[in-house]
Structure 1
Amino acid sequence: MKTKVLAALAATMAVGATCAFAANPFVDVPSDSWAYKSVVELADAGIIQGVDGQYFQGNRNITRYEAAEMVAKAMAHMDKASVEQRALINKLADEYADELNNLGVRVSALENRVGNVKLTGDARIRYRYQDGSKENDNSWDYRVRVRANAQVNDRTKVTYGISSDNKNFADNAAATDESNDIFTDVAKVDYNFGGNNWNLSVGRTDAYVLGNAYGYNYGDVFDRAELKYQNDKFAATAGYGKFKAGDVAGSTATTFTSGKYIDGNGVTNLPDGAKVVAGESLEGTKTGYGELEGFFGGGRAAGSALGVYYNDFSANDATRGGQADDLWGAYASVNFGKWNALANYERVSYEKNITTANGQDDSANVWIGKLTYGKANIATPKSWDAWVEYINAEDGAFINGSTNSWRFADQMDNIESWGVGADYTFAKNAMFQVMQSFGTNTKDGNAKDPEEQTRAQFVFVF
């Protein structure tokens, strides 16, 4: 294996043209060897290091991980390579993609290859059940998404994606039914500059999350312009965009009569002059947002972080009856060994003189905690994790109809609940996930406690 890999890498050594007169670092490579020049150039470029820093051992077979390490180092010189040389390095990167991914090269280098258009995607089949839910008759659904990723140049990447949304197996709608339409959920351009520490992203993303944490309030399609700076210790994000899905409040059917608020839970008395948080559509609502994050315990790659974030909402029309005014939150994610602990807090502020169905005035809070053991990697068969979570949400804390959580969106507000789950990669690019809630109860008011939720799904990536 070594001869083939070294021959391919040596062919790229316009990258190391300045190395022609470097000294031979290996005592077992004579100057009259046919491979002498290539070995010296590869060593001087830092792509190979030999054994014990002195011996090349040219007849020794190497492992795929050793080959992948050499490819990774060659990829670091991509900006100096010609188009033909880049194509050769890309071919090697595809061959050793799994090993490179496990070495942590995928995000920093593999996805930044130039002159490359790559199709990716995923498919999900899931089962969701909650006694009394309208979803019960159609508990099984599926979704398919396809992504085209084009690396235009060293700094610019274009991504376009389509999605089938969630289609129910029990749905007998005609093929021409609008509900069966495929839609664009990703269409964006990313531009890196400033030594790749800065990124400007413009267009549509499929999963904007309010805060880099649990994704309690929103995790759906979002059109935005976003500027981000990040290094190994710090990240700052600022952007402005428009929500494409969701409701501003958890309740969408409301009646306001003679000082009383009437919904599916019964009648609630309201103070004089109060307004009701009605189910106003979030679609079209705009927001300016910002986030600050700090990474510790080994930097960004180690996964431990602290962050704070803020969103300021503004509706398209002049009447913002009942709409949330702004939201801010903070999170902490800490890795210790095979464990990860996540804590997330959010506070939603409403317009003055706004009262929710159960009398919560002006603002509402939510606390979320999650403890995970292990790490399921969809590229690594037999990897797995298990987790437990806790949610304590005041009435009015959940403002949207869309969420990044596994739970039903209409059961995210005014609750206290626990959940458990596990993820298992049973084959490369194929994962099984299962989730179950327990101990769920209504926090305020006389409404019946929600029934528990069950979810199980298969996810396939291609």
Structure 2
Amino acid sequence: MKKTLVSALTTALVVGAASTTFAAANPFSDVPADHWAYDAVSQLAADGVIEGYGDSTFKGNRNITRYEMAQMVAKAMAKNTSGADKALVDKLAAEFAEELNNLGVRVAKLERNADMVKWNGKAEYTFTRNHFEGQDRAADRDSNNNKFLFRLEPSAEVNANWHVKARLDAWTDSSTDSNGINDATSSKVELKRIWAQGDYKNFQVRIGKMGNKIADDLVFDDPFSGVDVTFGKNVKATLAYGRVNSGTNDAFGYAKKMEKATNNQYDATEEASTYWGIGLNYDAGKKLTARAAFQRFALGDITFTEDGVNYKTENVDAINVWSVGAGYKFDKNFAINGAYARANTDEQKSAFAYGVSYKGAQAANKGTWGAWIGYRYLGAGAAFHPTYDVVKSGYKGLELGVKYVPWKNIVTQVQYGTGSNIATNTKYNTLFGRVEFLF
């Protein structure tokens, strides 16, 4: 290979994503601070990817040998990387292991640049049938939901640490079609999320509109617009601040539900509410996981209307929610999980969920499957928009589910839920089915 060691640094920089965050002091005396490769040399030397020659010099103008390039890649492979960083290092190692004799660094770099934007997504069909106590067959048919979803999730590389990510959803609900023609309420194309994400060693920052990751299973599974920061290794702390949209899927939905429970004729409107939260998560990759969180939703003024005329405007107190959760994996098959949340609301201030799972469906492995059973009590004051499919906010009940992978990247799912409305005690049961085609 007739490439100099300095020119090879451009390719070696991909290793920096799997190592320390800040450039270290440069140990090589013949690379001045204003040299274009100064930061790269310092970083790679600090990571142990490159080494000097015993006299504190770098000798960057010397031709690199095949052995030295292979040694550089081998050291990168030996690092304890995970996720996207590991995939990047594995790809680099595979390329050089196969083509080291006849390809130079420039070719590998061009191939990497051509792959800076990655796409994945899925096509999904979901069927839901809800039956409520006292409801006739015609009403049962009206409550059926047949939803088709097409999702794209691009990820564009900005540099070794930063990516821009997004989620674009296009969906249609054939059960609400009017005479076979989709109306505005039966189909929609929406940019659900878009954010910039910086990944460093034991540190991550996200800016934009993204999914909430603080107690999202029980309390709040909606996206928010703002910023969050996560740091730590085995114990991770997340700080989040931003705004959430009004609607039935957030804290505003609770205020609206409580008003309509007394005055069904009134509707309500409200601007986006301020949101902030802090979460702690323990996961050492072993049997026990644990989490705790505090989240605050400052709702502000809500205007209630009747037939388009303002009925009243109220300032709704901020809702504060504390939550804790834990999971334990007995072996490779059996695991348990539980969570509890408590809010400062007047009604339905508590929510909890617990369950047992067996095995697990893995989309990449044909024939894998998993099953679970759990009980949910989702008081609307604490569980604004939980992640569960058959027991919703304001309801309680039993949930059973099975997932199966008949073919690679095709996941089937069936769930059944039964229980009652917390406020009215009206009994219900729900049948839920889904097929996902992942790409």
Shorter chain as denominator, the TM-score bin is 0.5 to 0.7
CA deviation string 1:268-302 (max 9, x = no partner):
xxxxxxxxxx9866761221111111223x4xxx5
Structure 2 unaligned residues grouped into runs of 5+: 1-7, 13-43, 54-64, 78-86, 97-103, 303-312
* Alignment check: 8 A CA contact 1:19 1:41 kept: no
The counterpart of 2:192, out of the listed 169, 185, 191, is: 185
The CA RMSD measured in Å over matched residues stands at: 4.0
Equivalent residue in structure 2 for 1:46, among 74, 85, 88: 74
Shift in CA distance, 340/317, structure 1 to aligned 2, threshold 3 Å: same
- How far residue 160 of structure 1 moved from its aligned partner, in angstroms, is 2.3
C-alpha distance in 1, partners of 2:130/2:181?
28
Deviations 1:10-55 (A, max 9, x none): xx8975996999xxxxxxxxxxxxxxx7468536753799xxxxxx
Deviation at 1:86, TM superposition (A): 4.0
Residue number among 188, 200, 211 corresponding to 2:205 in the alignment: 200
- Give 2:335's match in structure 1, choosing from 321, 334, 340: 340
Q: Give how far 1:403 is off.
A: 3.3
1:219 corresponds to which of 196, 199, 221: 221
Matched, 1:407 2:390: yes
Distance 1:19 1:395, change over 3 A: closer
d(CA) in 2 for partners of 1:443, 1:225: 34
Instruction: Give CA deviations for 1:95-146 in whole Å, capped at 9, x if unaligned.
Output: xxxxxxxxxxxxxxxxxx9951012111210111121387742422111111
> Which amino acid is 1:211 matched to?
A
Q: CA deviation at 1:220?
A: 2.4
Cα pair distance change 1:75/1:286, threshold 3 Å: farther
3-state SS in 1 of match to 2:301: coil
Alignment partner of 1:328 is 2:335? no
The C-alpha deviation readout for 1:416-449, integer Å capped at 9, x for no partner, is x2111111111111100111124x24556xx344
- Go from structure 1 to structure 2 and tell me whether the alpha carbon gap of 1:76 and 1:280 turns closer, same or farther (over 3 Å shift): farther
CA drift of 1:183 comes to: 1.1
TM-score, with length taken from structure 2: 0.67
Alpha-carbon distance in 1 for matches of 2:412, 2:287: 23
**Which residue of the other structure, out of 383, 406, 412, is the alignment partner of 1:426?**
406
- In structure 1, the residue corresponding to 2:367 is in which secondary structure? coil
Task: Indicate how the Cα distance of structure 1 residues 255 and 42 shifts in structure 2: closer, same or farther if over 3 A, else same.
Answer: closer
The answer as to whether partners of 1:250 and 1:396 remain within 8 angstroms in 2 is yes
1:25 aligned partner:
none
2:174 corresponds to 1:168? yes
Tell me the equivalent position of 1:244.
245
Percentage of identical aligned residues: 16
Question: Could you tell which deviates more after superposition, 375-384 or 178-187?
Answer: 178-187
- 1:176 is displaced (CA, Å) by 6.8
Cα distance change on mapping 1:196 and 1:282 into 2, 3 Å: farther
Q: Identify the residue that residue 297 of structure 2 maps to in structure 1.
A: 313
Structure 1 residues 336 and 76 mapped into 2: Cα distance closer, same or farther (>3 Å)? farther
8 Å contact 1:396–1:414 — kept in the other structure?
no
Give the letter aligned to residue 241 of structure 2.
Answer: Y
Given candidates 138, 154, 158, the residue that maps to 2:160 is 154
Deviations 1:249-271 (A, max 9, x none): 45856779xxx94669xxxxxxx
SS for the counterpart of 1:131 is: strand
Give the alignment of 1:282-293 within 5 angstroms: 284-293=272-281
Gaps of 5+ in 1: 1-11, 22-36, 50-67, 91-112, 265-277
The answer (yes or no) to whether the contact 2:279–2:294 under 8 Å persists in 1 is: yes
Residues 330-364 of structure 1: per-residue CA shift (max 9 Å, x gap): 111222212221110101112xxx4x4xxx6xxx2
CA contact under 8 A between 2:299 and 2:316: conserved in structure 1? no
Q: Partners in 1 of 2:209 and 2:375 — Cα distance?
A: 31
Counterpart in 2 of 1:388?
373
Instruction: Give the direction of change, closer, same or farther, for the CA distance of 1:174–1:285 in structure 2 (3 Å limit).
Output: farther
1:436 is aligned to 416
Asked whether the 8 Å contact 2:300–2:316 carries over to 1, the reply is no
Contact 2:218-2:352 within 8 A present in 1 as well: no
